[in-house]
Amino acid sequence: MIAPVTALSPDFDPWIDENFADPISIYDMMRDCDPVHWNQRRQLWFISSYADVTKVLRDRAHFAAAPFQAERPHMERTKTDQHREFAATTMLTTEPPRHTRLRTPANPSFSPRHMKKFEAEIERIADRLLDAVSGQDEWDVIANYAYPLPVLVITALLGISPEDEQELMSMVRADTALLAIDPRASQETIDHYAQMGHRIDPFVHRVVEQRRSQPPSGDLMSALIHEEQEGRYSPQELMATVHLMIEAGHVTTVNLIGNGVNLLLDDTARIRALKERPELARSAAEECLRLDGPVHFAGRIAIADTALRGRKIAKGDVVINLFPPANRDPAQFPNPTEFVIDRSPNSPTNFGAGIHHCIGANLARAEAAVAFRKLAERFPKIDRAKEPVRQRTFELRGFRELLVRSNGDGHSE
């Protein structure tokens, strides 16, 4: 471990290859030694305690999310078209009242009440994917389960037809987004991500046009089209919102499931507990989110001078709210480094807070809980076939490959 005086010196860069394997140790060091840390090398504030992170995320008087999402000022390379779903006019890149107008119509589709009804569809998709690998000695959790499950779920939530889901599956790539959103993304990766977005545009236009001519069916796309027909969404806002739901609706969940399965495989007792007590899947998902969540930080831009723990944050400063050290803050979580499958209370920061709290948080939690429960039910003796391979990223953390041995046929009973 790097000594604190080195890690917090003016020329220290937390996002270099030497820190890739274990960035959390660096972030924990910041929390313990300098929780409101000005990083001279990156010209960014790093906030790392639970109390401070949640305070900044909720403080609309001094911090804004929209300009950060639109400008991505922490990136080493910039290009106008580099982050299409973030640069477009959506709920991510606007503040009230426009943000409220764009977000409100989608809220019911992600409510706890709707998720409870929708969970049967998530289970059907999970079973379908596990059926496909039943009987295989080895298979990849990422490619065969964690990646397709959220893509198929978001298509079902939007109301995209089964005939179109495979076309969409061939276009969206969570690993491409993972690399392109990283602060150190190469120009080649950024360009490739932009090209992927351009490929999705005609698909979005086609499925929206198809749905405009059909009767409303109670799904998310019908709700968004209704807003356009009533004059509350422009055609451009409708297209951008559907595009956002498709891309943002799967990227983080792929890695929540992959990271979570990897954590569960650290101890055979965890899978066994889920097999014996499937009701623990919800709390297990929350604990996986806390200990190895897919999103490592959320950015804000200061819109007014303010102070935090006596440090002066000036208008225009970029603030990086670090989730891993906040989620391991001993002031908030007893025994913070331990995996406690039934931890309660448990409120990790990964989905943000305030008006920009992730709209898909309930969906992601439901997907992860179902994914873990079904995996334990079908493959209670599952273990790793080899060491998993992580993507070399800092902002969004996930695996490129997670090969497992099923140790059972996995058939549904």
> H-helix or E-strand containing 53?
helix 50-58
Per-residue pLDDT tens, the chain, 413 aa: give them. Answer: 444 546 677 788 889 888 888 999 999 999 999 999 999 999 999 999 999 999 999 999 999 999 998 888 999 876 544 444 445 688 988 999 999 999 999 999 999 999 999 999 999 999 999 999 999 999 999 999 999 999 999 999 999 988 888 888 888 776 677 788 889 888 888 888 888 888 888 999 999 998 888 877 889 999 999 999 999 999 999 999 999 998 887 889 999 999 999 999 999 999 999 999 999 999 999 999 999 999 999 999 999 999 999 999 999 999 999 999 999 999 999 999 999 999 999 999 999 999 999 999 999 999 999 999 999 999 999 999 999 999 989 999 999 999 999 876 555 54
| Domains, in order of start, for the chain | 45-405 (1.10.630.10)
Q: What is the CA radius of gyration of the chain?
A: 21
Q: How far apart are CA 166 and CA 186, in angstroms?
A: 29
Q: How far apart are CA 405 and CA 130, in angstroms?
A: 13
Residue keyed to tokens 């969540």: 293
Q: What's the confidence (pLDDT) of residue 409?
A: 56
Q: What's the confidence (pLDDT) of residue 266?
A: 96
Q: Is the pTM of this model over 0.85?
A: yes
H-type alpha helices, 181-280: 187-212, 220-229, 235-264, 268-276
Amino acid at 413: E
Looking from the CA of 398 toward its CB, the CA atoms found within 13 Å total 28
Q: What's the confidence (pLDDT) of residue 1?
A: 46
